[in-house]
Structures are given as C-alpha cells and as structure tokens.
Amino acid sequence: MKRKNIYILALMPFLALILMYEIVPLFTIIIESFQPDKGTGFTLENYHTVFTKLLYQKAIENSFFISLISSFFGILIGFLGTWSAEHIGKGFRRLYMTILNMVSNFAGVPLAFAYMILLGNAGLMAQVGREFGIEAMTNFDLYTKNGMTLIYVYFQVPLASLLIAPAFAGIKKEWKEASLILGGGAWSFWTKIGIPIITPTLIGTFSVLYCNALAAYATAYALMMNGLSLLPIQVAGSYVGDVQMRKGLGGALSVVMMIMMVAVILLNNRLSKNFQKGRVKA
C-alpha cells in the first residue's frame, strides 16, 4: 500500500500539468464558444458564424483538404522509404533513422523560409526552370493550397516513417522464410502477410498525421500570413486580432477543429478494430 502511495505521489506533477494545460483550457474554450464576445449568456451565434461565413467555410475546407492529402502522401512516402531501408541493410537503416530524426525537427518558420528560397517566385527552382525552359518549375506557385500541401508533406514524411519503423521491425524473419518455403515470393509475402500485419499501424499513423497537419500553424502563417484561410490561423487571429479579441468565435473554431480531429481518430480506431477482427476470423 505504501508503495502504491509513492507511485501516486510521483504521478501528481504529471496530473497537475494535464489539468492546467489540457483539461482546464479545453473546458474554458468549450464554454467560451457558447458565449457572446460582448457580455455574458448562452448563444449559438459563434457556430452560426463559423458555418455560414465564407472565410471560415474555406478555412475548414482548406484545412481538411491539406491534412487529408498530406497525410496520405506522408504515409505512402514514409512506407516506401522505411521498407527500402529495412531491405538495404542495417548500416543504411541506422543512417536513414538518423536523417529522419534530424529533419523531423526542421519545421515551422525555418521550413517556410527554406521553401521560399527553393520554390518561391524568385527561388532556386524557378531560376533553373527559366534557364532551361521548364515551365512546370518556372510557373509553380508556392503560395497556394497546393504549395502549402507540398510543404506539409515534407514534415509528414519523417513522422510517418518514425511511426511505421517499429511495425517493420516486428515482422519476423521466420515468417518470410516460411512463406518462401511454401512457394511464396516477396510480392505474395507483403500482400498477404506483411501489409495486413502492419495495416493497424498504418491506420493509426494516418490519424496522427492528420491531427498533426490540422493543428500546424507556424509554417503556414510564416509563408502565407492571411493569404490562405486555415483553421489554426483563424483561431489565432480571433484571440490576437488587431481590433478586438473574439474569444467566442475563436472557441467555436477550436471546437470545430477538435471535432474534426476526434471524428477521424474514432473512424480510424473503428477501421483498425474491424480489420483486426476480420484478420482473427480469417
């Protein structure tokens, strides 16, 4: 009993941090989302504004599109890269993981500046395109939804690879040997054994990537400012507006963003559970 009390006491700082920085802000935002910006009381006006004003409709649409597309390509590229690293050799795998850990910390404002230098209107790739007459490089517009999606894919790939790598490590060598003995090649092993085994991990990784992209703020703001309507930018603008703070509207936008996150997480959990049940029955 004394040992259990010691463990509970050691857990208190963590619980205090969760209470102060997670639970209290969460309930505060939810309550504020139902309050008018001026005065007190209960209102749905903030949610009416979010779903009827074009600016916020575009923010929801753009955030959902960029998060979905960048998560898909992040998983695809991360899967192929991790799969290749696992097959080339241990030395290359260690180098690959080292590079991933390094580039995963390169995000935010530095990443935005790097893309400006590389793919901006007067960037390196545009200059190369003009020099060699490559119109696709010359006319590429970084400051659009597609350009922003490309940037998001960059920081999604390292995260996806780091999350997928343990699943590859869990595939035993004996399974491959058994498949080979039974006449199966590499293609049949991965399509019938390997990929089904790591599919729950891929589904879980997708939800993490989606939430990561949906809440990303620094890179998008540094590159686009208010040039592209995104949920995180609109939330920040509601709390630090030049004219007045609109806590109610910011709270409503935050709640909508949280609902978008929770919906995808619940859907992915359901898909993962159904997949595992189907695999057990099979």
Q: Give yes or no for residue 278 having a pLDDT over 70.
A: no
Q: How far apart are CA 139 and CA 130, in angstroms?
A: 9
Read off the pTM: 0.85
What token pair was written down for 189?
Answer: 């092993």
213-236 per-position pLDDT tens digit: 998 888 888 888 777 889 998 988
Question: CATH second-level architecture of 54-281?
Answer: Orthogonal Bundle (1.10)
Higher model confidence: residue 269 or residue 1?
A: 269
The pLDDT confidence band at residue 173, using thresholds 50, 70 and 90, is confident
104-141 per-position pLDDT tens digit: 777 778 888 888 888 887 778 888 888 777 777 778 88
